Structure 1
Amino acid sequence: MLYCPLPGRRRHPLHAPADTGAGDWSGFEDELTSLDATITDLALSGRNPSLQVRARDGLNWTIELVSRDRMLSAGLTERLAAPGDAVSVTGRLSRNTSDTHIKALRLTIAGRAFELFPEELAEG
C-alpha cells in the first residue's frame, strides 16, 4: 500500500480499502449486548457513520456503524432512519467503561433488521 511521506504529517494509505478497520474489535468487549433506544441524531453519509441515540433510562449513546458501502449492501440508507425513530442495537460495548459507545453488528429500525456484520453475529 502506498503512503504519502510528507514531513510533519501523519501517514495514511492513498488507496485504502472501503472497509478499512471494519473488523478491528480491539477497543470493544467480546460479549454482545443489546440496547433499545430512540435515534436523536444520525450521520450516515460521512466518513465515520454513526447514530446518536437515547436509551429508555435517559442515557445517550454513540452507535458506531460500518462503511457506507457495507451499509448499502446491508440495505441501510439515510431514508430508512430519522431522529425520533425507535432502534434496537445489537453490538459490542466499548472497553472504556466511561464511554457510552457501541459498535453495531445489527440494527433493527421499524421492524426491519440490518445485519452490518453477519460474520460476527454467526461467531458471537
Structure 2
Amino acid sequence: MRQRFGKFFAVIIMALATAAMTTPLLAHHGWSWAEHGNSEVTGVVTKAELGNPHGIVTLDVKGEVWQVEVGQPWRNERAGLTDAMMSPGVTLTAKGHRSAKPDQKLLKAERIVIDGKTFDLYPDRD
C-alpha cells in the first residue's frame, strides 16, 4: 500500500512539474503576452536570428534596442519576405502588437514594411 501511494505521489509531482514548465511556453507562443491594440516601430536592423519557432529581429529605433518577433520561416516565405531582406543595415517598419509590459521593447509583427513594400505575415488576422 505504501509503495502504491509513493508511485501515485511521484506521478502527481511529475504532472504538476510538466504543467508548470509548459505554461510559460504556451503563453509566449500565443498572443496573450501582447497588447490588443496595434503599434509600429521603425528602425535599422542590427541583428537577425531567423528560424524556428520564429525569428527575432533586433532594431535600433532612435538609439533604443527593440526586439521584433517575425514569423516562422514558412510564414515569412509565404509573405514573400526573405532572410536577406532583414539583414543588418536594412531599415524596416514592423506593425503588430507590442508587449503588455510597458518597459519591454518587444513587438510581435503582423506586417513588415521594407522600402514601401508590405509583407503580411498574418493575412487573416486584423
Classify the TM-score, shorter chain: 0.7 to 0.9
**Secondary structure of 2:124's aligned partner:** helix
Cα distance in 1 for partners of 2:59, 2:111 equals: 15
**Quick check: which one's helix share is greater?**
2
Residue in 2 that maps onto 1:51: 57
Q: For residue 110 of structure 1, what is the aligned residue in structure 2?
A: 115
Distance 2:83 2:46 in 1: 14
Structure 2 residue corresponding to 1:101, chosen from 103, 106, 119: 106
| 2:32 pairs with 1:26 | yes
Relative distance call for 1:22 and 1:80 in structure 2 (3 A) is: farther
Rg comparison, structure with higher value: 2
* Identity across the alignment (%): 24
Gaps of 5+ in 1: 1-6, 12-19
Matches within 5 A, 1:1-124: 24-56=30-62, 58-121=63-126
Equivalent pair of 1:22/1:66 in contact (CA under 8 Å): no
For 2:92 and 2:28, locate their aligned partners in 1 and report how far apart those are by CA, in whole Å. Answer: 21
Displacement of 1:44 in angstroms is 1.6
Number of residue equivalences: 108
Contact 1:87 1:108 in 2 (8 A): yes
| Partner AA of 1:41 in structure 2 | K
Question: Normalising by the residue count of structure 1, what TM-score does the alignment of the two structures yield?
Answer: 0.74
Alignment TM-score, normalising by the size of structure 2: 0.73
Q: List runs of 5+ in structure 2 lacking aligned partners.
A: 1-13, 20-25
CA RMSD of aligned residues (A): 2.7
Amino acid across the alignment from 1:54? D
